[in-house]
């Protein structure tokens, strides 16, 4: 990529090809060079520059960057003593907590690969992920809701070993005592587990001097994170994100907001760190900035509103459902949100009316962004300063090229103003899918761009607007829901003959799954029976919001179940309302 002093002084030929260069935000250089480094450098640098500053505020207990970095080193040495070497896959089945941050960087520093696991996953879903990734070790907390799943994996010998950390130990002293007294049924009896011999306590792992053996890393080639996603088939795939992919994406995002003050910002960490948006846009972004993370184990509306009022965060990344919930809080005006400089929205489309109402009632600007697991994730962001462009996902961040291509001929760019498939090239684009070379090749254009399956148009100023999705992915509350997973779970019910699932608009979640079912002749089942059947098979996010029974389901000429007609019917229903 050519380098110039400022993107606004771009060469005329590139400004024609990349229209965003003509109207790039002041102070942001699209040509800025980026250098990849081992990802753990984020926490090491933060400790050197901001060691005495708070890194986390977890339910009232503050931990400094110096303390977190020391814990990372101890955990890294302990992991190496357990046999973690370069390339070992280590899973994190953790809610947002200092433990997540410590083991995320400790795994990397020990030479391992982080496998982010969704705590809401069922044992069946975790089993598939453990087997696909070749995961050897899982880190979790002693909360029964988490430990019971890990214990099941150990009993089945799907998983070899686990590290278990104490949740009460993360709390302020008084809260820890109360939790052990009042919530003891929520704490697992780890020592009494039938697989206790396969479990190592976090305190044992970190009982050392904190001097892990140095690991040589090639940032551009070595994998830091396996971030599980899914493609058009809904088959779960691990996006191989290198150290450079994630490290550079964090700095691309920092370059987009030049006015932030290192060591002085505070970020609300309500999005789950295992999700790629929060991993980069909350946790790693905050650490690179030396910001304090006000950590929420999960988003609870009243708690979030009180935390914002009390702890005064300056930034709040979120998904549209969070903004909808806050907007509809009956006592919204009684909370003080004035500390927020801006909110970043991603993970799902943000309705225009939601953004306008939120900004009008809170006075806080909402900036919409777009990204993918395969891109670490940030690709485009709306400018933080200046008026937004309604319904736009923004402009490409520094070092990123977005090209709109003909879906049937991905080497061919569409004419300006026409709709095309979003294709991406940049240092944040994944290395490929874990052990899936064929799918990796299918996801790339012949000239090296990542295909997204999203269809968009670009205006004269280089702002992009998503208009459609080629794939059938459902984005529910910022999470990817794959119709095939839901269909397979429903089809395992003995009364079901055929099923197809589509996404329908949902005022709170953005989108939600709707299932259309044809029962076997002579069989009977109602919606409640189907939902009971699905409880152990699907997470809450994947559960259908509506179930409709039909005598027959539409099919293509070759007999394949077709979603197109059902989507058209749902669209007509919405228009008729």
Domain of 196: which CATH number?
Answer: 3.40.50.980
373 part of a folded domain: no
pLDDT tens for residues 167-217? Answer: 999 999 999 999 998 999 999 999 999 999 999 999 999 999 999 999 999
14 part of a folded domain: no
Check residue 557 and give its pLDDT.
52
Check residue 12 and give its pLDDT.
53
310 part of a folded domain: no
138 part of a folded domain: yes
DSSP conformational letter for 63: E
Q: What is the CATH number of the domain that holds 566?
A: 3.30.300.30
444 part of a folded domain: no
Span 518-537, average pLDDT? 95
pLDDT tens for residues 325-353? Answer: 898 898 999 999 999 999 999 987 787 88
Q: Which of 8-22, 241-255, 466-480, 487-501 has the lowest mean pLDDT?
A: 8-22
Cis peptide before 190 (omega within 30 of 0): no
* Domain edge (last residue) among 174, 204, 225: 225
330 part of a folded domain: no
For residues 376 and 249, is the Cβ–Cβ distance under 8 A?
Answer: yes
φ/ψ (deg, to 5) at 41: -60, -25
* Domain edge (last residue) among 193, 225, 257: 225
- Model confidence at 551, pLDDT cuts 50, 70, 90, reads very high
φ/ψ (deg, to 5) at 497: -100, -50
378 part of a folded domain: no
* Domain edge (last residue) among 225, 256, 285: 225
- CA-to-CA separations, 245 to 225, 253, 296, 303, in angstroms, rounded: 10, 12, 26, 34
Query: What three-state secondary structure class fits 431?
Result: coil
Beta strand residue intervals within 117-159, DSSP E: 137-141
Query: What three-state secondary structure class fits 538?
Result: coil
Span 67-74, average pLDDT? 98
For residues 157 and 198, is the Cβ–Cβ distance under 8 A?
Answer: no
Q: Which of 216-220, 427-431, 572-576 has the lowest mean pLDDT?
A: 572-576
Q: How many structural domains does the chain have?
A: 2
Structure tokens at 289: 């900035």
pLDDT tens for residues 126-181? Answer: 999 999 999 999 999 999 999 999 999 999 999 999 999 999 999 999 999 999 98
Nearest-angstrom CA–CA distance, 72 and 121 = 26
pLDDT tens for residues 254-263? Answer: 999 999 999 9
Check residue 232 and give its pLDDT.
36
Range of the domain at 519: 474-576
168 part of a folded domain: yes
Check residue 201 and give its pLDDT.
98
Instruction: With 0.85 as the threshold, say if the pTM is over it.
Output: yes
Indicate if the pLDDT at residue 6 is higher than 70: no
């Amino acid at each position: 990529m050519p380098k110039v002093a400022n993107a606004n002084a771009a060469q005329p030929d590139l400004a024609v090809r990349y229209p965003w260069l003509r109207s790039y935000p002041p102070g942001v250089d699209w040509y800025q060079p980026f250098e990849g480094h081992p990802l753990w450098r984020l926490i090491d640098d933060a400790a050197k520059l901001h060691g005495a500053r708070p890194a986390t505020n977890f339910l009232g207990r503050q931990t400094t960057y110096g303390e977190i970095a020391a814990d990372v080193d101890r955990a890294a040495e302990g992991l190496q003593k357990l046999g973690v070497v370069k390339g070992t896959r280590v899973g994190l089945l953790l809610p947002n907590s200092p433990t997540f941050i410590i083991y995320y960087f400790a795994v990397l520093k020990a030479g391992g690969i982080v496998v982010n696991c969704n705590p809401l996953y069922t044992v069946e879903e975790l089993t598939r992920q453990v087997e696909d990734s070749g995961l050897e070790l899982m880190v979790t907390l002693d909360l029964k809701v988490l430990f019971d799943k890990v214990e099941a994996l150990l009993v089945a010998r799907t998983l070899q070993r686990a590290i278990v950390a104490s949740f009460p130990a993360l709390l302020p002293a008084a809260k820890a005592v109360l939790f052990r007294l009042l919530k003891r049924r929520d704490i697992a009896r780890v020592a009494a587990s039938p697989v206790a011999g396969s479990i190592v306590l976090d305190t044992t792992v970190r009982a050392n001097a904190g001097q892990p053996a140095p690991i040589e890393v090639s940032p551009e080639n070595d994998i830091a994170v396996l971030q599980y996603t899914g493609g058009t088939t809904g088959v779960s795939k691990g996006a191989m994100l290198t150290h450079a992919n994630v490290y550079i994406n964090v700095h691309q995002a920092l370059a987009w907001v030049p006015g932030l003050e290192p060591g002085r910002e505070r970020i609300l960490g309500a999005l789950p760190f295992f999700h790629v948006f929060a991993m980069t846009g909350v946790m790693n972004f905050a650490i690179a900035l030396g910001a304090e993370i006000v950590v929420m184990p999960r988003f609870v509306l009243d708690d979030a509103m009180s935390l914002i009022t009390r702890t005064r965060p300056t930034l709040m990344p979120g998904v549209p459902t969070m903004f909808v919930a806050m907007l509809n809080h009956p006592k919204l005006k009684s909370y003080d949100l004035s500390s927020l400089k801006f909110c970043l929205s991603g993970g799902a489309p943000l309705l225009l009316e939601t953004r306008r109402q939120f900004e009008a009632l809170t006075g806080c600007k909402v900036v919409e962004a777009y990204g993918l697991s395969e891109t670490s994730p940030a690709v485009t962001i709306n400018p933080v300063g200046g008026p937004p462009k309604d319904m736009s996902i923004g402009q490409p961040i520094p070092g990123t090229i977005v090209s709109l291509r003909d879906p049937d001929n991905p080497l061919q760019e569409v004419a300006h103003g026409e709709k095309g498939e979003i294709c991406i090239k940049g240092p944040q684009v994944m290395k490929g899918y874990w052990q899936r070379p064929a799918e990796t090749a299918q996801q790339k254009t012949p000239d090296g761009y990542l295909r997204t399956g999203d269809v968009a148009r670009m205006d004269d100023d280089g702002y992009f607007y998503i208009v459609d999705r080629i794939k059938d992915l459902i984005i529910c509350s910022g999470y990817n829901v794959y119709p095939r997973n839901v269909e397979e779970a429903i089809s395992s019910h003995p009364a079901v003959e055929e099923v197809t699932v589509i996404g329908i608009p949902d005022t709170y979640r953005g989108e939600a799954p709707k299932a259309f079912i044809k029962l076997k002749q002579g069989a009977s089942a109602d919606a409640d029976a189907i939902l009971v059947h699905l409880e152990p098979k699907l997470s809450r996010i994947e559960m259908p919001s509506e179930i409709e029974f039909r005598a027959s389901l539409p099919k293509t000429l070759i007999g394949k179940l077709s979603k197109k007609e059902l989507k058209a019917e749902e669209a007509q229903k919405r228009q008729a309302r």
